[in-house]
C-alpha cells in the first residue's frame, strides 16, 4: 500500500482519490481551504498555503509519502528538486512539475528546444511591455498569465483599447507570485483537442482516443470523445506529445493540448496530470478512465492497452453567482435521462462560472456523437445552482 501526498484537492483530485481508494492506497489531500472536494474521500488532509515552501517541507517530513502528486499550479514547485534528492518520488518528475506549472518554461522547451510547432509568442512583465508585444505579433492575440488554471486571467486582444484591460485581468487571474504574461498570435484553427498521453515506468507510451472540447473565457465547457480528426494530424499530435513527455520524464498521465488547422497541428499547452476535458472518460468511454490510468502509471502497474469502449460527452454545471452553501435543483431530470450520468463536486462555495458539477452522456461507438454532445449540453442547462 502506497502513501500519496496529493497537492491540490479539487474535483480532479477527488476522482483520483476515489480511484486510489478502490485499490487500497492511502491519500493525504492538501489544499489551501478546508472541505475541498478530494478531502471528502481521502484518508487525511492538510490545509496550507502551497506557495509557502516551509509549509510544504513540514507536511512532506510529517507524512513521508511514497509519492508526491501535484494537482494544481500554485505550488512552490522548485522545492520538488530537493524532495527528489531526499529520495521522494515526485509525479511525474520534479522537472516536469516545474516546467509545466509555468507557461514560459514549457513553451520555451516545446518551441525552442524541441522545435514543436506553436503559435508565435512573446512575454511581457508590464502593461507597457504587453503593448510592445502586441505591436510585434499583431492582433488578434491571446494573453495568459504564466501561472493560472481553468482559463483564469486569459483574454483576447482585438483592439488597442483591450490591452490595459487584458493586463489587469491577467494579474487578477494569475496564480502564485508571477506577474509575467505570455502573448500569443491567435491561431486560426479548425478545432482543438486534448490528447491524454500515458507514460509508464517500464512500458510503452500510450495515447487515449483524442478528446474534443469547447472553451469559454479560456475554461472548458464541453468535451467529447472520440474527436474526429485526420489520421495524419493524429499521428502528428502523438509524435509531439511523445517528444515533449520524454523530455520532461516520469510516469503518469499528461493532458497535451493542440490546435488543428488547415496548415497542421500546433502544440498549445501541457498538464502533467489528469485534465479537466478528460472528465468525459468518467462516462466509461475507455477501458480505464483518466484517473485510473494516472494511478496505475504512478504505482508502476502495467497498462497493456487503452481501448475505446463507447462514445461520450461531458458538459459543465456552472454557478451563476456567489453562495456559501450551494444547493442544486434539477438532479432528478438527470437521473431520469437515459445513457446519462453526473457528478456533483461538493465544493463548499460557489462563485460566477465556477465548475460545480458535470453531466456525462454516452452511446455505443456506432452512435451519433453530435446527438450525445447536444444531449449533455441540454441536460446541463436543466441543473441550477441555488445561491
Average the pLDDT over each of 122-126, 216-220, 225-229 and give the range with the smallest value.
216-220
Q: Rounded mean pLDDT of 355-371?
A: 97
Percentage of residues in the chain having pLDDT higher than 70 = 98
pLDDT of the residue at 249: 95
| Range scoring the smallest mean pLDDT among 91-95, 118-122, 151-155, 341-345 | 151-155
Region 224-228 average pLDDT: 97
Per-residue model confidence (pLDDT) at position 1: 86
Q: Are 104 and 123 in contact (CB under 8 A)?
A: yes
Pair 290, 275: CB distance under 8 Å: yes
Average pLDDT rounded to a whole number, residues 223-249:
97
Q: Does domain 3-90 have CATH number 3.40.50.20?
A: yes
> What does pLDDT average to over the chain?
94
pLDDT of residue 177: 62
pLDDT digits (tens, 9 = 90+) for 284-339: 999 999 999 999 999 999 999 999 999 999 999 999 999 999 999 999 999 999 99
Count Cβ neighbours within 10 Å for each residue of 63-79 and write b for 16 or more, e otherwise. bebbbbbbbbbbbbbeb
**One-letter-per-residue 3-state SS of the chain:** CCEEEEECCCHHHHHHHHHHHHCCCEEEEEECCCCCHHHHCCCEEEECCCCCHHHHHHHHHHHCCCEEEECCCCCCCCHHHHHHHCCCEECCCHHHHHHHCCHHHHHHHHHHHCCCCCCCEEEECCHHHHHHHHHHHCCCEEEEECCCCCCCCCEEECCCHHHHHHHHHHHHHCCCCCCCEEEEECCCCCEEEEEEEEECCCCCCEECCCEEEEEECCEEEEEEECCCCCHHHHHHHHHHHHHHHHHHCCCEEEEEEEEEECCEEEEEEEECCCCHHHHHHHHCCECCCHHHHHHHHHHCCCCCCCCECCEEEEEEEECCCCECCCEEECHHHHHHCCCEEEEECCCCCECCCCEEEEEEEEECCCCCHHHHHHHHHHHHCCCEEEC
Across 140-153, average pLDDT: 80
Domain made up of 120-185: CATH architecture: 2-Layer Sandwich (3.30)
Give me 33's grid cell.
481551504
Identity of the highest mean pLDDT range in 134-148, 168-182, 240-254: 240-254
Distance (Å) of CA 237 to CA 103, 169, 256, 275, 374: 19, 31, 9, 17, 27
Strand arrangement of the beta sheet that strand 67-70 belongs to? 44-47, 26-31, 3-7, 67-70, 89-90
One fold for both 120-185 and 191-386? no
Per-residue pLDDT, 179: 80
Q: Which top CATH class is 191-386?
A: alpha beta
Q: Answer yes or no: are the C-beta atoms of 275 and 215 closer than 8 Å.
A: no
pLDDT at 215: 87
Q: From the centroid of its chain, how far is CA 259? A: 16
Q: What pLDDT score was predicted for residue 57? A: 97
The span from the CA of 270 to the CA of 221, in Å, is 18
Residue 71, C-alpha cell as written in the block? 494537482
Please check the confidence at residue 266 and state whether its pLDDT lies above 90.
Answer: yes
pLDDT at 256: 97
Q: What is the pLDDT of residue 175?
A: 66
Residue numbers annotated as active site: 149, 151, 257, 269, 276-277, 355
pLDDT tens, 10-39? 999 999 999 999 999 999 999 999 999 999
Confidence band for 178, pLDDT divided at 50, 70 and 90: low
Q: Give the tens place of pLDDT for each residue, 49-85.
A: 999 999 999 999 999 999 999 998 888 989 999 999 9
- Name residue 128's beta-bridge partners: none
Cβ proximity of 333 and 383 under 8 Å: yes
Mean pLDDT of 122-147: 92
pLDDT tens per residue, range 329-353: 999 999 999 999 999 999 999 999 9
Where is pLDDT greater, at 44 or 173?
Answer: 44
Sign, CA torsion 165/168/173/174: positive
CB–CB of 38/60 below 8 Å?
no
Q: What's the whole-model pTM score? A: 0.92
pLDDT in tens, 90-104: 999 999 998 887 788
Query: Of 373, 378, 352, 354, nearest to 363 (Cα)?
Result: 373
Q: Which pLDDT belongs to residue 150?
A: 61
Domain locations in the chain?
Answer: 3-90, 120-185, 191-386
- What Cα–Cα distance (Å) separates residue 109 from each residue in 138, 156, 231, 266, 271? 23, 24, 26, 14, 14
* Set of cell numbers at residue 223: 468535451
Amino acid at each position: 500500500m502506497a502513501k500519496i501526498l496529493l497537492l491540490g484537492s479539487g474535483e480532479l483530485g477527488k476522482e483520483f482519490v476515489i480511484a486510489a481508494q478502490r485499490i487500497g492506497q492511502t491519500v493525504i489531500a492538501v489544499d489551501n481551504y478546508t472541505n475541498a472536494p478530494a478531502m471528502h474521500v481521502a484518508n487525511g488532509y492538510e490545509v496550507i498555503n502551497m506557495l509557502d515552501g516551509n509549509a510544504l517541507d513540514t507536511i512532506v517530513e510529517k507524512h513521508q509519502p511514497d509519492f508526491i502528486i501535484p494537482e494544481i499550479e500554485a505550488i512552490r514547485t522548485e522545492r520538488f528538486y530537493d524532495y527528489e534528492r531526499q529520495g521522494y518520488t515526485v509525479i511525474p518528475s520534479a522537472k516536469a512539475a516545474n516546467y509545466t506549472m509555468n507557461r514560459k518554461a514549457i513553451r520555451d522547451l516545446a518551441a525552442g528546444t524541441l522545435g514543436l510547432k506553436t503559435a508565435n509568442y512573446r512575454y511581457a512583465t508590464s502593461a507597457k511591455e504587453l503593448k510592445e508585444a502586441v505591436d510585434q505579433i499583431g492582433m488578434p492575440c491571446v494573453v495568459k498569465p504564466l501561472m493560472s488554471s481553468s482559463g483564469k486571467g486569459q483574454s483576447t486582444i482585438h483592439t488597442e483599447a483591450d490591452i490595459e484591460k487584458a493586463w489587469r485581468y491577467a494579474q487578477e487571474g494569475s496564480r502564485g507570485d508571477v506577474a509575467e504574461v505570455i502573448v500569443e498570435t491567435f491561431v486560426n484553427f479548425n478545432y482543438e483537442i486534448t490528447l491524454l498521453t500515458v507514460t509508464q515506468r517500464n512500458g510503452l507510451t500510450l495515447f487515449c482516443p483524442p478528446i474534443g472540447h469547447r472553451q469559454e473565457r479560456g475554461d472548458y465547457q464541453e468535451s467529447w470523445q472520440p474527436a474526429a480528426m485526420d489520421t495524419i494530424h493524429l499521428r502528428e499530435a502523438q509524435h509531439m506529445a511523445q517528444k515533449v513527455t520524454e523530455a520532461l520524464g516520469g510516469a503518469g498521465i499528461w493532458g497535451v493540448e493542440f490546435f488543428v488547422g488547415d496548415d497542421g497541428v500546433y502544440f498549445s499547452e501541457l498538464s502533467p496530470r489528469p485534465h479537466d476535458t478528460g472528465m468525459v472518460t468518467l462516462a466509461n468511454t475507455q477501458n480505464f478512465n483518466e484517473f485510473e490510468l494516472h494511478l496505475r502509471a504512478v504505482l508502476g502497474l502495467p497498462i497493456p492497452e487503452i481501448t475505446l469502449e463507447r462514445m461520450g460527452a461531458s458538459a459543465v454545471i456552472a454557478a451563476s453567482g456567489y453562495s456559501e452553501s450551494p444547493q442544486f435543483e434539477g438532479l432528478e431530470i438527470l437521473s431520469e435521462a437515459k445513457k446519462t450520468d453526473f457528478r456533483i463536486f461538493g465544493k463548499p462555495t460557489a462563485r460566477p462560472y465556477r465548475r460545480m458539477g458535470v453531466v456525462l452522456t454516452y452511446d455505443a461507438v456506432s452512435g451519433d456523437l453530435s446527438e450525445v454532445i447536444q444531449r449533455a449540453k441540454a441536460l446541463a442547462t436543466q441543473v441550477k445552482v441555488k445561491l
